[in-house]
């Protein structure tokens, strides 16, 4: 089953493309190595924020292999393997494991006749078909599928390979609290997503960290560490300082996040694959002013340690 502990910060990485939209694996290698150096607890590739729906099957494998090689066993690599077909999801999960993934992140897909029993069966068949640890992604904004607290607790209680819930169904703090309270038989970790938009409140409610795409994950790591040490006021102060940037980056699309990655020297191009939109000049200028206000005279190419 593996001994990975889903606590801390697991950034969901962008998938870098060159200006011509070809896959840029050199930049991906650089991103993963940066995350290792920044003290992340793991990384996640091929999530929604990784433009997974715009990649070919061969490109998916290149991304996984590159991330695993760059991580070099120092941190685990989690791979998004969600698919509307159960068999296809099993095969994608098996292949991710063969390529060195330590876990898979899986969200359910929308069905014509919604049924929580069918969602449970989906995860149950995947768990039976592969022995890799599973992160259950609860993100109805992208899946149009809703999972109740009782369903999520059933997955936790009956499927040992479910090791983590990525909770992204707002309002998230009460759902996190309900999940924590309901895990009387078996406790798995809860990681928060949504760009950390409600991060401090989810931490207060019992979340164990983050699995999200915010381009300054070392900020989230500092918040998690402060909470772990019982310094909630410090965690709140960090959140307050960076909240304008969190909110600005969380606008729909990937343009802003990729531009920050480029400004940090992690990727060579901020290109978003068509039909996605790359950052426009006015937004880039707004971002630059925001960064100068929040992080004056800071080398963005290095992990931020002044919180």
Per-residue pLDDT, averaged over 184-211, amounts to 97
Per-residue confidence band for 294, with pLDDT thresholds at 50, 70 and 90 = very high
Closest by CA to 104, choosing from 66, 130, 71, 143, is 130
* pLDDT value of position 1: 38
Per-residue confidence band for 2, with pLDDT thresholds at 50, 70 and 90 = low
Helix H segments across the chain?
A: 25-37, 57-71, 86-98, 116-129, 140-143, 149-158, 172-182, 199-205, 217-228, 232-249, 255-263, 281-294
* pLDDT value of position 105: 98
pLDDT in tens, 57-91: 999 999 999 999 999 999 999 999 999 999 999 99
Domains by residue range for the chain, with CATH: 8-294 (3.20.20.70)
Q: What percent of the chain is predicted at pLDDT more than 70?
A: 99
Per-residue confidence band for 109, with pLDDT thresholds at 50, 70 and 90 = confident
* Tokens standing for residue 57: 């099957």
Q: What percent of the chain is predicted at pLDDT more than 90?
A: 95
Q: Report the distance separating Cα 294 and Cα 300, nearest Å.
A: 12
Q: Report the distance separating Cα 255 and Cα 268, nearest Å.
A: 14
Closest by CA to 43, choosing from 58, 64, 26, 19, is 64
Per-residue confidence band for 121, with pLDDT thresholds at 50, 70 and 90 = very high
* pLDDT value of position 112: 83
Is 60 exceeded by the pLDDT of residue 257?
yes
Is 90 exceeded by the pLDDT of residue 157?
yes
> Phi then psi for 162, rounded to 5 degrees?
-75, 115
User: What kind and span of H or E run contains 86?
Assistant: helix 86-98
- Calculate the average pLDDT of the chain: 96
Is 80 exceeded by the pLDDT of residue 123?
yes
Is 70 exceeded by the pLDDT of residue 120?
yes
Q: Report the distance separating Cα 307 and Cα 235, nearest Å.
A: 10
Per-residue confidence band for 114, with pLDDT thresholds at 50, 70 and 90 = confident
Q: Report the distance separating Cα 146 and Cα 169, nearest Å.
A: 8
Q: Report the distance separating Cα 33 and Cα 28, nearest Å.
A: 9
**Contact yes or no for 13/38 (Cβ under 8 A):** no
* pLDDT value of position 107: 96
Contact partners, residue 197, CB within 8 Å, separation at least 6 = 246, 247, 250
Region of poorest pLDDT, from 107-116, 146-155, 221-230? 107-116
Per-residue pLDDT, averaged over 96-122, amounts to 94
Per-residue pLDDT, averaged over 282-296, amounts to 98
- Give catalytic residues, as residue numbers: 166
- In a 10 Å sphere around its CB, with 0-12 CB exposed, 13-18 middle and 19+ buried, how is residue 14 labelled? buried
């Amino acid at each position: 089953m593996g001994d990975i502990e889903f606590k801390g910060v697991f950034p969901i990485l962008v998938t870098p493309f060159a200006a011509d939209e070809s896959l840029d694996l050199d930049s991906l290698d650089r991103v993963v190595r940066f995350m290792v150096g920044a003290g992340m607890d793991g990384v996640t590739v091929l999530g929604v924020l990784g433009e997974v729906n715009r990649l070919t099957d061969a490109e998916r494998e290149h991304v996984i292999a590159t991330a695993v090689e760059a991580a070099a066993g120092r941190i685990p690599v989690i791979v998004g393997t969600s698919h509307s077909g159960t068999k296809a999801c099993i095969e994608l999960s098996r292949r991710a494991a063969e390529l060195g993934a330590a876990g898979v992140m899986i969200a359910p897909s929308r069905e014509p006749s919604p049924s929580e029993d069918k969602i449970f069966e989906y995860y149950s068949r995947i768990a039976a078909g592969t022995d890799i640890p599973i992160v259950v992604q609860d993100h109805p904004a992208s899946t149009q599928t809703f999972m109740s607290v009782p369903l999520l607790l059933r997955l936790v209680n009956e499927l040992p390979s479910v090791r983590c819930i990525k909770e992204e169904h707002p309002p998230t703090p009460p759902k996190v609290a309900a999940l924590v309270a309901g895990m009387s038989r078996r406790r798995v970790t809860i990681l928060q997503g949504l760009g950390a938009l409600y991060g401090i409140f989810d931490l207060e409610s019992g979340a164990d960290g983050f699995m999200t795409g915010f381009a300054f994950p070392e900020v989230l790591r500092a918040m998690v560490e402060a909470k772990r040490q019982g310094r909630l006021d410090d965690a709140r102060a960090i959140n307050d300082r960076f909240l304008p940037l969190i909110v600005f980056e969380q606008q729909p699309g990937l343009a802003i996040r990729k531009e920050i990655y480029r400004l940090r020297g992690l990727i060579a191009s901020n290109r978003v694959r068509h039909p996605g939109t790359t950052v426009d000049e006015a937004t880039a200028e707004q971002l630059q002013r925001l960064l100068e206000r929040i992080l004056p005279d800071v080398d963005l190419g290095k992990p931020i340690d002044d919180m």
